[in-house]
Amino acid sequence: MRTILMDGDPGHDDVIAFLLALGNPDQLKIAGFTTVAGNSSAENCTHNILKIMDYLGVSIPVARGYESPLVKPLDTAAKFHGETGLDGALNYPSAVSSSDPRHAVAFQRDILGASKEPVTLVTMGPLTNIAILLKTYPEVKEQIEEIVMMGGSYSSGNTLAKSEFNIYADPEAAKIVFDSGVPIVLATIEACYSGGILLTEQESLKDGGKVSRLVYNILKFYSRYAITNGWDRTAIFDMTTIIYLLAPEIFEYRDMRVDIELDGVYTRGMTVCDDRGPTYISDPENPKRVLLKADRDRLAELFFASLKRLDETYR
């Protein structure tokens, strides 16, 4: 059993990652969910995750975080997630629950401080909250098992040619986190794309239970981009973090030094992966685990098995 603290900008794929964690209670205990501005405002992201929890009757504490990155202005991903950050689930009832009165960072500090065993941070958005947490309360590092993040890339990009959105949105925060000494696992763009769920597989969710139909509706909106591009599958980016926690053995990875580019005109927010090998490793004591590829069929099996369990639990 692993205790996890989730931080993200829900966001279609953030929500699906949350659901997969919820669907594996024998392996993962969700201590809380903190929100951060990214795909949409932190206010919208908070409402979105509360709305999903209320729809399922789930009561997991949610705390709202930063509304803007440390330095650069917020640049949302409305074209992928819609103005609300969760378009495609607009006809689901609005949230009635409220978020925790504490700011996300204070909430994270309290959860980590109170936990009897180290906690895994699962990050799925810009790292603004996490950077402030580590800067303000460095003592919590001892309580963090590792950070498993959807973020960065080995060599590609989805926001700039070589920059991934979560890192690009707040590169200064990412640098603080990457330089903190806390162990980091990166679910890169490449790993996420290798684990896409087929559009034909998604169709099977339409006739499933309550949670499967919810995911079907979320993916109907989220898969528009894949359909427009003529792809046969959708990369559900953030859920790759949960799949890694459930089955790390289905991933190929390399441990290497990773730095964050802050000043490049064309490469701001790039995760610079030093893959030259041990002769050059200049940071042997703190390499990052860079996930490169997933076994897609095994990932899909875990995805659908989790949804089946959720359908049986939440009717």
CA 68, 72, 77, 79 dihedral sign is positive
Q: Which of 2, 3, 5, 14 binds Ca ion (CB under 5 A)?
A: 14
Binding mask 148-187 for ligand RIB (x = CB under 6 A): --x-------x-----xxx---------------------
User: 221 and 92 in contact (C-beta within 8 Å)?
Assistant: no
DSSP 276: S
Q: Which does 164 bind (CB under 5 to 8 A by kind): ligand RIB, Ca ion, none?
A: ligand RIB
By CB under 6 A, residue 125 contacts ligand RIB? yes
Contact partners, residue 221, CB within 8 Å, separation at least 6: 12, 82, 87, 88, 89
Q: With contacts defined by CB under 5 A, name the span among 47-55, 80-88, 106-114, 116-124 that binds Ca ion.
A: 116-124
**How many alpha carbons lie under 13 Å from residue 250 in its C-beta half-sphere?**
22
By CB under 5 A, residue 170 contacts Ca ion? no
Report the nearest approach of Ca ion to the CB of residue 285 (Å): 30
Q: Which of 9, 170, 190, 311 binds ligand RIB (CB under 6 A)?
A: 9
- Identity of the residue, 109 or 288, whose beta carbon is nearer to ligand RIB in the bound complex: 288
Q: Which of 3, 5, 7, 11 binds ligand RIB (CB under 6 A)?
A: 11
Q: With contacts defined by CB under 5 A, name the span among 70-78, 88-96, 192-200, 233-241 that binds Ca ion.
A: 233-241
Q: Which of 15, 31, 36, 38 binds ligand RIB (CB under 6 A)?
A: 38
By CB under 6 A, residue 14 contacts ligand RIB? yes
Collapse the DSSP code of 1 into the 3-class scheme (helix H, G, I; strand E, B; otherwise coil) and give the result.
coil
Q: With contacts defined by CB under 6 A, name the span among 8-16, 202-210, 215-223, 299-307 that binds ligand RIB.
A: 8-16
Residue with tokens 């964050």: 260
- For the beta sheet containing 184-187, the strands, ordered from the edge strand earlier in sequence to the opposite edge, are 62-64, 28-35, 2-8, 119-123, 144-150, 184-187, 288-294, 251-260, 271-274
By CB under 5 A, residue 152 contacts Ca ion? no
- Identity of the residue, 20 or 124, whose beta carbon is nearer to ligand RIB in the bound complex: 124
Q: Cα(239)–Cα(217) distance, rounded to whole angstroms?
A: 17
By CB under 5 A, residue 11 contacts Ca ion? yes
Q: Give ∠ CA 24-310-29 in degrees, rounded to 5.
A: 30
Q: Which does 165 bind (CB under 5 to 8 A by kind): ligand RIB, Ca ion, none?
A: ligand RIB
Q: Cα(293)–Cα(36) distance, rounded to whole angstroms?
A: 27
Instruction: Tell me how crowded residue 266 is: count the other CB atoms within 10 A of its CB.
Output: 11
Task: Name the H helices within the chain.
Answer: 12-22, 42-56, 78-81, 104-114, 128-136, 165-169, 171-178, 189-193, 199-203, 210-222, 224-228, 239-246, 296-313
By CB under 6 A, residue 124 contacts ligand RIB? yes
- Identity of the residue, 13 or 311, whose beta carbon is nearer to ligand RIB in the bound complex: 13
Segment 51-110, which members bind ligand RIB (CB under 6 A)? Answer: 77
Residue with tokens 């973020």: 151
User: 18 and 241 in contact (C-beta within 8 Å)?
Assistant: no
Report the nearest approach of Ca ion to the CB of residue 51 (Å): 16
Report the nearest approach of ligand RIB to the CB of residue 263 (Å): 21
* C-alpha distances in Å from residue 200, one per residue of 14, 63, 149, 223, 300: 22, 36, 28, 12, 12
Q: Which residues bind Ca ion (CB under 5 A)?
A: 8-9, 11, 14, 124-125, 238
Q: Which residues bind ligand RIB (CB under 6 A)?
A: 9, 11, 13-14, 38-39, 77, 124-125, 150, 158, 164-166, 237-238
